[in-house]
Amino acid sequence: MLTRDDKGSLKRTPLYDLHVSLGGKMVPFAGYDMPVQYLAGVLKEHLHTRNAAGLFDVSHMGQIALRPKSGKVEDAARALERLVPQDIIAIAAGRQRYAQFTNAEGGILDDLMVANFGDHLFLVVNAACKAEDEAHLRANLSDTCVIDSLADRALIALQGPKAESALAKLCAEAPTMKFMDSGPHKVAGLDCFVSRSGYTGEDGFEISVPAGDAERLAKALLDNPDVMPIGLGARDSLRLEAGLCLYGHDIDTATTPVEAALEWSVQKSRRTGGARAGGFPGAAKILAHFDHGASRRRVGLRTEGRAPVREGALLFADATSAEPIGKVTSGGFGPSLNAPVAMGYVPTASSAIDTKLFAEVRGQRLAVQIAAMPFVKNTYKR
């Protein structure tokens, strides 16, 4: 189980003692005491994940089972479609899909993963939002579903080109899984839920394991010389290079999926003219954005120099104008590229690739260009 530390202020995951024993530098994150880096440092951890395999503790995330009272998983899927703009009914058994909870204004309450485990749905939600997400599900879906918080489970991510070979030593079925496959599997003899997915742009897996077995499983994976423990610092730089959103930064309650360049996640069946168009919170605004466009858009940004442009930096149309046209929501140095990368929002009219803008950094205007994302090509096993 997740526990509070002696101060009663920060919660600890089941892998806390392992992090400390490995030299993890612990910092507060989403209410948890989490490792920001280990002895190798962020740069080496980042590059090791890109070249071999990295092990991440993501036990602070929320895990929820959505069990249909009727016993039919399609009833749980139909119920969940009342809260998200995605086609949940079409998720086949053993598969998962990226989704968003939306609000009445079309903004994003949280983003999540939804898997079909055959007789129920398995959801993974963000740490900072998990209490609100569970309450949201209970308030809206309790008529048709049992909402089961799986607080007695840990979550481990194994990411990188050698993730498959590392996991295959403990789970014979791992090599047969494709990107976004998800379901129960035995890992090192333990009853786990395994998905072939992650948050780095690399091939990899996320493994839900009973909390009491988490340290044993993590140590078994770390016994492989290809696997290195990775902290929050490299997790952030990896997801940024992959062009993946961080909730509360790149997406939030005032951002629609279309503004966030997440149109790909909303299937045609839920759009105007689709078999089950609308019917989710904020549908009028979101579908209007699909049909007529949104006024702003999330874009990738590359700087012309080596100075990183970080979150909060204002974006301008030229070097002298007084009024900003946009803002950076994530930014930093991309170790794989040996160059700075960033994401932010700009007017849709200024969102074309190669458009030149200026970011204000320490009172100076730095030239930036709109760039295609992901910045580093993903390596998912499709």
Domain definitions of the chain by residue range: 15-60+152-241, 295-381
Instruction: Give per-residue pLDDT as tens, 6-38.
Output: 445 899 999 999 999 999 999 999 999 999 999
Q: Do domains 15-60+152-241 and 295-381 have the same CATH topology?
A: no
Contact 315, 328 (CB under 8 A): yes
Q: Out of 3.30.1360.120, 3.40.630.30, 1.20.1730.10, 3.20.10.10, which CATH number does the structure's domain 15-60+152-241 have?
A: 3.30.1360.120
Mean pLDDT of 368-373: 98
When the pLDDT of each residue in the chain is averaged and rounded to a whole number, the result is 96
pLDDT at 4 > cutoff 70: no
Domain 295-381: state its class: mainly beta
Contact 107, 256 (CB under 8 A): yes
Contact 231, 38 (CB under 8 A): yes
173 labeled binding residue:
no
Of 299, 306, 310, 300, nearest to 359 by C-alpha is 310
Whole-prediction pTM = 0.96
Q: Which tokens in the block code for residue 265?
A: 């996640």
Mean pLDDT of 39-50: 98
Neighbouring residues of 168: CB distance < 8 A, sequence distance ≥ 6: 174, 175
pLDDT at 123 > cutoff 60: yes
pLDDT at 185 > cutoff 90: yes
Instruction: Give per-residue pLDDT as tens, 93-117.
Output: 999 999 999 999 999 999 999 999 9
The partner residues of 156 in beta bridges, in order of sequence, read 57, 207
For residues 296 and 282, give the distance between their C-alpha atoms in angstroms, rounded to a whole number. Answer: 17
For residues 364 and 348, give the distance between their C-alpha atoms in angstroms, rounded to a whole number. Answer: 25
